[in-house]
Amino acid sequence: EAQVTQNPRYLITVTGKKLTVTCSQNMNHEYMSWYRQDPGLGLRQIYYSMNVEVTDKGDVPEGYKVSRKEKRNFPLILESPSPNQTSLYFCASSSTSEAYNEQFFGPGTRLTVL
């Protein structure tokens, strides 16, 4: 089944404790992206990647890191999480690097930073 997977789905952590949210897609997609979604706000892009070893900042990259060492994986790293990073996070992928292609979203990771 074609899908985007994220782990963990739920995470409660404390300020300053490094964490990684994994994202993997099995559709051989070139483009992958991370978003955060907060009440009353639209999806905001954190980072995106147009291909292996190519990553770029989105609208809200501060406090986050990413890597794209393999085509299928695009982990999101929070080196020192803070309470303002409490949010719902989505990973997404699409078949090409052009944004006008349909994006496929993972199930989401609900992160709480205490």
- Tokens representing 45? 């892009």
Which residues are bridge partners to 44 per DSSP? 36
User: Which DSSP symbol is given to 73?
Assistant: B
- Give the shortest CB-62-to-another protein separation in angstroms: 18
* Nearer Cβ to another protein (61/108): 108
Q: How far apart are CA 7 and CA 21, in angstroms?
A: 6
Q: How far is the CB of 102 from another protein (least distance, A)?
A: 4
Q: How far is the CB of 101 from another protein (least distance, A)?
A: 8
CA distance to 1, 30, 51, 67, 77, per residue, from 89 (Å): 22, 20, 21, 16, 12
Query: Taking the complex as a whole, how short is the minimal distance between the CB of residue 95 and another protein, in angstroms?
Result: 12
Q: What are the C-alpha distances in Å from 113 to residues 20, 59, 73, 78?
A: 13, 21, 24, 11
* Cβ proximity to another protein, 56 vs 79, nearer residue: 56
Q: Which is nearer to another protein, 19 or 43 (CB)?
A: 43
Interface positions with another protein (CB under 8 A): 40-45, 58, 90, 98-100, 102-108
Q: Which is nearer to another protein, 38 or 79 (CB)?
A: 38
